[in-house]
Amino acid sequence: MKRSRDIRVHARQRAIQRYGVNISNKKRKEIINMIHSGVGKFVRRRSVRVTEWEIPLGGEIFRVLYDKIRKDVVTFLPPKAVP
């Protein structure tokens, strides 16, 4: 099983690779708060613990996978996945 730190590093790398944006810890926590507060748009459930969300941030829509057990962003999906 991957550690939480490994998952955060992976998510940060995918944000850089797929959106050209370096996600700081502050931005990551902001994304998580948007999910918890309902600001983000729920897209679908991927598994029992992972859900897909559309998050408006900085004038862009980011599609992310969120793990409800770890309470963290797992990865950023490619922009072409956003309709």
Render pLDDT for 16-75 as a digit per residue (tens, 0 to 9): 999 999 999 999 999 999 999 999 999 999 999 999 999 999 889 999 999 999 999 999
Residue 63 CB-density burial (10 A; 0-12 exposed, 13-18 middle, 19+ buried): buried
**Rg (alpha carbons) of the chain, rounded to whole number:** 12
CA-to-CA distance for 67 and 57, rounded, in angstroms?
Answer: 19
Specify the pLDDT at position 81.
54
Strand blocks (E) in 1-83: 41-45, 50-57, 60-67, 72-76
What's the pTM?
0.88
CA-to-CA distance for 68 and 83, rounded, in angstroms?
Answer: 24
Specify the pLDDT at position 83.
56
